Chain A
Amino acid sequence: MEPGLKEGAFYDPTNFTFPAGAYICELEVDSGTGKTSFVNFVAADDFGRLINPMIVEGQVHGGLAQGIGQALLEGAVYDSSGQLVTASFMDYTMPRADDLPSFKLSHTTTLCPGNPLGVKGCGEAGAIGASAAVINAITDAIGNNKLEMPATPDRVWHAIHG
């Protein structure tokens, strides 16, 4: 065995951070085709102190695109023999700019007491809140809670017309 030094350390902060937020989605459903289109999308978050607000907004934008993609577009599908049928972007619906609304963002600032900077995590917030807001908006619009993600036009149309 080669000689050497080994050291371990464990940091246990006084408390974890708890970012919080509220997302509001307004959309329209075309009952003839099941296609959804956004009217408004507002994301309000509390990430503690924003050291670089522009980077934080970029993180939220990316997260919202992921969340909307999960809600409406993206899904890895295998056929009964185990073959991936969404193996290219001809079949897998990656969110593109024209699939997304123009986001409105706002923040409240409650400093985190658990670290000297007063900061909280923000990277995943958009992806967590957006899917729920989108699906709740669709089920509210069509009056049917039985709707799987991604809520493709085909699925929404079937949820409307049974």
Chain B
Amino acid sequence: MYETIYHRPPSVDEAAALFAKGSESKYLAGGHTLIPVMKQRLAAPSDVIDLGKIKELIGIEPTGDGIMIRGATTHYDVASSGTVQNAIPALAYLASLIGDPAVRHRGTIGGSLANNDPAADYPAAVLALGATVKTNKRSISADDFFKGLFSTALDDGEIITAVSFPVQAKAGYSKFNHPASRFALTGVFVAKTPAGDVRVAATGASQDGVMRVPAIEAALTANWSAGALDSVNISAGGLMSDIHGSSDYRANLIKVMAQRAVAAAG
């Protein structure tokens, strides 16, 4: 690891000011991505600005039509929150599947979304639930937030302050673990709004990161049941292929995980 300056600001505004002042600043949340790449000397930020201790970035609150999870809230806090378990149990379940207990006590929702790893769990929930990502500058809808592998709509220095999730009529998540890393080899989140709109998002599968799955959305809009997907064919085009899962296997997993997510959603 190269030398760096560590900051622990008490507020979002001070964090953003420190970021602007450094020559090559990086925000630190749970640190599961930044710290390993710094240890490998693949990243050498001049300043590391820790967001994990900013009180206004931590917590979960009910809102009028859903819940708001602040940016530096850990996966463990989301998984064990009564508010989340009551409002959107599938979201609490998803958080309970991330990594292992040590990871869940450090990793944060904002860090996961800002990094936008193509096999991370949270992007599937944010996209399928039609969540809104709130930053220190603006609000970004889920459909506009994800921009491909490790890429988001966030500007340089912009901080995710919270994510708002609307409550759904139905929501479910099913994940097939990567055998080694336990990221999602493929994970699918299904959701049906109170108005009857269906949104389905798959993570771990596409070469472009998290994606909607229109064929499954159409089938579930017509008939919300696992059996409705029996005749749906998912194309392997554009899907990732590696030693743990070929693209046609991932295409199958999208369908099978979607069926199990629907079954879980009830």
Interface of A toward B, CB cutoff 8 Å: 32-35, 73, 75, 77, 85-86, 89-94, 152-154, 157-158, 161
Contact = CB atoms under 8 A, between A and B. Distances in A.
B181 interface: yes
Nearest to A73: B179
Interface residues of B, number: 13
Interface stretch (B106-114, B151-159, B191-199, B241-249): B241-249
A153 B180 contact: no
18 contacts: A32-B256, A33-B176, A33-B253, A33-B256, A73-B179, A77-B243, A86-B243, A89-B180, A89-B181, A90-B180, A91-B180, A91-B181, A92-B180, A93-B179, A152-B179, A153-B249, A154-B244, A154-B249
Interface string B216-244: 00000000000000000000000000011
B260 to A, nearest CB: 8
A94 B180 CA distance: 7
Contacts of B246: 154, 158
Contacts of B96: none
Contacts, number: 41
Nearest to B185: A153
A153 B252 contact: no
A interface majority secondary structure: loop
Contact of B245 (A73, A89, A94, A154): A154
Given A75-B243, A86-B243, A91-B180, 10 more contacts: A33-B176, A33-B253, A33-B256, A92-B180, A93-B179, A93-B180, A94-B180, A152-B244, A154-B249, A158-B246
A92 B179 CA distance: 9
A91 B243 contact: yes
Interface string B159-197: 000000000000000001001110000000000000000
Given A33-B256, A86-B243, A157 B180 contact: no
B100 to A, nearest CB: 10
A32 B246 CA distance: 15
Contacts of A85: 243
A72 B145 CA distance: 38
A157 B249 contact: yes
A147 B180 CA distance: 20
